[in-house]
Structure 1
């Protein structure tokens, strides 16, 4: 039976365990220049020391106005590469692998003077009304994703994650709630995402897997559900996505479509349904703090990997602690061996 500390391989990505640190924004850029700081270095490398198998660096944006805030990471200039390279190299020294989430916040870019989106629909009354991108601007945006992916590869990452979830730009094009366009990007709401997948695959080595984070369900009236997300994941898989990171929500205020669960593992069934329907590997995420629960997700083959978010913010050594709780002996940094009973 598989368990949390089994190794995992997808193409050339070889992980020492099934534990993923998902992207979580730190809002910690000092000079609003999008360059990673010592905080980011400490934050990510400590989780590598803590035994995490795959660390995905937070939402990193393709242009300055594509950030949630002015204090977020970016990859719109080569000047931003060296600081990320320093982090990536240090993570590798600790035996972990590293990815980075490439994104654009779309209408949820809070500090942009005028945010952009598929259609001029604000997130809610507290957000600015975005400007609808022209067809040519959408095409240019695809190229901005390409250039950011090129820079991420120069920084030495092991995998790329595209952010197609949580109400940000790619998700906004996918969703019928926010894409009211009449051009080719409205006629095929998945086209923008597929074009970004295409340029990502053109830039990435053939043996490097591409991850996509998706919202498998929208908790709002008129939003899509799991059947629709299975359909667009099928398109994205055929376009070149190798692994889906299955989250939910983020598009529009909560409406009559129901609220997201607050119980442990509430999104695991969504990941399982996509895995079963398409036969593709998935990352499960969402309140998997308990190591026994996380272990059962792998053991029951609900998902191939588990992402531990807020619990890893509280405890950078979550993976080392989990090994003792599920009775699996793993390599402990020699400096910390006295803290763990074999």
Structure 2
């Protein structure tokens, strides 16, 4: 019997060959918004490793929404051809191409995370840091954000719509809207960071208004046979699962297909009672959203082992599992997991030039234990 992790998953007109997803991972290597050879290598090797869906890193919808100078962007039409080449690379690897769209909000205008602490951030003249309210990120030296006017908000909604149109033209099949981890849309949702008194602040309904407008604007440009995900911090300081469930019900009414379930981002740990980081520590959020709303979900967070991922899907805790850093450690994780879980042809998802030689190796040496399955008894080999 085929493991559930390696069963297909259909969303609208998009069919994923399995439930393994490459989570969007920033490379900080873009040049004025355009992908470079770094992105081609990064995404190509991951797509060839056998995942059902490969999501390109958070791609900025507006120059003013950049997190760093190396962010990818879709803020103008001449960036579309470079993204179309990334789409071709992912498809050539056998995976479905997706993209995460983002506006960094108050987490904008920063250096890559490995930059020495004494190196200055980009000049404030380069681009403004925008947010619903003048509340900076709670870290030393963080920029004080400018409060967005209603005109800024209207322009932002249009920028999400135009970025979706460009993603469509580039050939992506899935959009993942980043509304978590303390970025712009998340800060509008939370009463901790949204102190507005106009139509975009105050009540929970008003604080969700921008996200709903963004989703509707994207759907106006995004074909009905393509999938739309929204990433939510399901729990955070001042925000619990009951509020997430209410929001997901609303998002479902606005043609959102999958909820990408994570947590925290406004201040660090999501809440004092949140579980410590460990294997699958965020899976319960995806499980609760799925059970309480009927929405398909994607689980993320320290999902690293094949049987662990299989249990998440087989037990109905989530429909998809997304891996990030584990795929940096082992880009062929899906092929490896397929072998460990007893898939009849574990290399079927690999390109033929790879699958042929891996099959041949198994046929010639059936007792072979690949390196990821433990060391051989060296004495026996000697």
Preserved CA contact (<8 Å) 2:188 2:208? yes
Post-superposition shift, 1:40? 0.3
Q: Establish whether residue 300 from structure 1 lines up as the match of residue 315 from structure 2.
A: yes
TM-score, length-scaled by structure 1:
0.95
Q: How does 1:174-213 map to 2 (within 5 A)?
A: 174-187=189-202, 188-213=206-231
**Change beyond 3 A, Cα 1:300–1:66:** same
Post-superposition shift, 1:90? 2.0
Q: Establish whether residue 26 from structure 1 lines up as the match of residue 24 from structure 2.
A: no
Task: State the match for 2:376 in structure 1.
Answer: none
SS of the residue aligned with 1:185? coil
Q: Establish whether residue 168 from structure 1 lines up as the match of residue 180 from structure 2.
A: no
Preserved CA contact (<8 Å) 2:229 2:259? yes
Unaligned runs of 5+ in 1: none
Task: State the match for 1:97 in structure 2.
Answer: 96
Q: Distance in 2 between matches of 1:255 and 1:58?
A: 23
Q: Distance in 1 between matches of 2:317 and 2:269?
A: 27
TM-score, length-scaled by structure 2:
0.85
**Change beyond 3 A, Cα 1:199–1:248:** same
Q: How does 1:1-342 map to 2 (within 5 A)?
A: 3-29=4-30, 31=31, 33-111=32-110, 113=124, 114-124=128-138, 125-187=140-202, 188-218=206-236, 220=237, 223-254=238-269, 257-328=272-343, 329-330=345-346, 331=348, 332-337=350-355, 338-339=357-358, 341=362
Q: Distance in 1 between matches of 2:16 and 2:270?
A: 39
Preserved CA contact (<8 Å) 1:64 1:70? no
Q: Distance in 1 between matches of 2:186 and 2:209?
A: 11
Q: Distance in 1 between matches of 2:270 and 2:178?
A: 23
Q: Distance in 2 between matches of 1:94 and 1:250?
A: 32
1:280-327 deviations in Å (ceiling 9; x for gaps):
100111100111100110111111110011101111111111111111
**Change beyond 3 A, Cα 1:268–1:256:** closer
Post-superposition shift, 1:253? 4.0
SS of the residue aligned with 2:196? coil
SS of the residue aligned with 2:6? coil
Post-superposition shift, 1:94? 2.4
Q: Distance in 1 between matches of 2:89 and 2:325?
A: 22
Post-superposition shift, 1:47? 1.1
Unaligned runs of 5+ in 2: 111-121, 364-382
Which structure is larger by alpha-carbon Rg, 1 or 2?
2
Preserved CA contact (<8 Å) 1:7 1:16? yes
Number of positions where the alignment pairs a residue of Structure 1 with one of Structure 2? 337
Q: Distance in 1 between matches of 2:40 and 2:273?
A: 39
Q: Distance in 1 between matches of 2:239 and 2:223?
A: 33
